[in-house]
């Protein structure tokens, strides 16, 4: 890493701007290229350097939970002197075996791959660290209960992430996870049912209000239509017409009804693409709800 440094210190070549190269341990004049100082101390804070009062951070998203040590990648000794050719080859072999020794058994390798898929899914879906930590905890429990055997890694990962999203009240559907994970929705749903039955998960029901807001934002409908949808849902909830129904189906139907009331051109096909709820389900819910809501 090379850094520029502007200094008022009087230098032999009268340079005002110098370049600090921590890789070679040299301070170089930008104008003439003269080496002004050698063997400087690297004052940068290392990512895994800690004081005596601090400890290395641990996380369930790491297959070793951040407890193992690794061999550094810089081929220099403790005084910063470059290593010889033979020693470089020895260090290369030691680094290779060090990385292999961290995942010796097939279960450890499987866990490593699964956690890597979770980290990638976190970036794609915009999930928080708490959700991924919860998903990693569920995957470890599933692996310990031998629920991973005979199933694809991505299906179990998708099921754990979906269960964590519902547990942390983060609105993400199985279809969203399936599309970004590139795994079939049926396999993820089947894996989720297996986790629910064997791990005895207590998962709260998704609030349809969150689904309404999410679908409305994706459809880019006006604020007045969004508020009308929430108002319609409150009326249906008071009449206990939403109990036991799919939250996504309720949200999709309510948004369609709000579009009709506010004269917004919103087709069932557009809502289906966003929500993943079929047009048949929306029409069935609409027949039940329009008895209590005036759409004209």
Over residues 120-160, the pLDDT tens digits come to: 888 888 888 888 889 999 999 998 898 988 889 999 999 99
HSE, side-chain direction, 13 A CA sphere, residue 4 = 6
The larger pLDDT score, comparing residue 236 to residue 56, is at 236
Q: What is the mean pLDDT of residues 164-173?
A: 84
pLDDT at 2 over 70: no
- What is the reported pLDDT for 88? 83
pLDDT, one tens digit per residue, over 171-228 is 788 888 999 888 999 999 999 999 988 988 887 777 888 888 888 888 888 889 999 9
Is residue 181 within 8 A of residue 162, CB to CB? The reply is no
Is residue 162 within 8 A of residue 203, CB to CB? The reply is no
pLDDT at 28 over 80: no
Tokens, residue 74: 């810089």
Is residue 109 within 8 A of residue 143, CB to CB? The reply is no
Q: Please, what is the average pLDDT of the chain?
A: 79
- What is the reported pLDDT for 101? 67
pLDDT, one tens digit per residue, over 99-120 is 766 666 777 788 888 888 988 8
- What is the reported pLDDT for 7? 47
| Local confidence band at 84 (pLDDT 50, 70, 90 cut-offs) | confident
Distance CA 296, CA 292 (A): 12
pLDDT, one tens digit per residue, over 256-295 is 999 999 988 888 899 998 888 889 999 999 998 988 888 8
The larger pLDDT score, comparing residue 255 to residue 93, is at 255
- What is the reported pLDDT for 227? 92
Strand, coil or helix: 18: strand
Q: Which domains does the chain have, with CATH numbers?
A: 2-38 (no CATH), 106-198 (1.10.472.10), 208-289 (1.10.472.10)
Strand, coil or helix: 173: coil
| Local confidence band at 39 (pLDDT 50, 70, 90 cut-offs) | low
Distance CA 67, CA 59 (A): 9
- What is the reported pLDDT for 193? 92
- What is the reported pLDDT for 209? 87
The larger pLDDT score, comparing residue 42 to residue 237, is at 237
Distance CA 1, CA 87 (A): 24
- What is the reported pLDDT for 20? 77
Residue whose tokens read 């309510």: 254
Strand, coil or helix: 269: helix
The gap from C-alpha 273 to its chain's centroid, in whole angstroms, comes to 23
Distance CA 60, CA 233 (A): 39
pLDDT, one tens digit per residue, over 40-80 is 654 544 444 444 444 445 666 665 555 566 677 778 877 77
């Amino acid at each position: 890493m090379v850094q520029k440094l502007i200094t008022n210190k009087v230098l032999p070549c009268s340079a005002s701007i110098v370049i600090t190269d921590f890789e070679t341990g040299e301070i170089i004049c930008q104008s003439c290229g003269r080496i002004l100082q050698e063997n400087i101390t690297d004052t940068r804070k290392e990512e895994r350097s800690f004081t005596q009062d601090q400890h290395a951070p641990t996380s369930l998203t790491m297959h070793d939970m951040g407890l193992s040590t690794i061999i550094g990648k810089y081929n220099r000794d403790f005084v910063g002197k470059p290593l010889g050719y033979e020693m470089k080859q020895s260090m290369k072999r030691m680094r290779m075996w060090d990385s292999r020794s961290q995942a010796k058994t097939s279960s450890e390798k499987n866990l490593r791959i699964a956690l890597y898929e979770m980290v990638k899914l976190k970036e794609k879906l915009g999930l928080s660290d708490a959700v991924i930590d919860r998903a990693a905890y569920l995957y470890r429990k599933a692996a310990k209960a031998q629920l991973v055997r005979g199933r694809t890694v991505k299906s179990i990962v998708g099921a754990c992430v979906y269960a964590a999203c519902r547990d942390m009240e983060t609105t993400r559907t199985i279809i969203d996870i399936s599309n970004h994970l590139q795994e079939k929705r049926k396999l993820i749903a089947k894996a989720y049912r297996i986790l629910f039955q064997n791990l005895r998960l207590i998962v709260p029901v998704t609030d349809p209000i969150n689904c309404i807001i999410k679908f409305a934002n994706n459809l880019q409908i006006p604020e007045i239509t969004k508020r009308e949808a929430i108002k319609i849902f409150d009326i249906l909830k008071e009449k206990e017409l939403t109990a036991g129904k799919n939250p996504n189906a309720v949200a999709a139907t309510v948004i369609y009804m709000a579009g009709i009331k506010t004269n917004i051109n919103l087709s069932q096909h557009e809502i289906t693409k966003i929500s993943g709820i079929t047009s048949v389900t929306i029409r069935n819910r609409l027949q039940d709800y329009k008895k209590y809501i005036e759409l004209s």
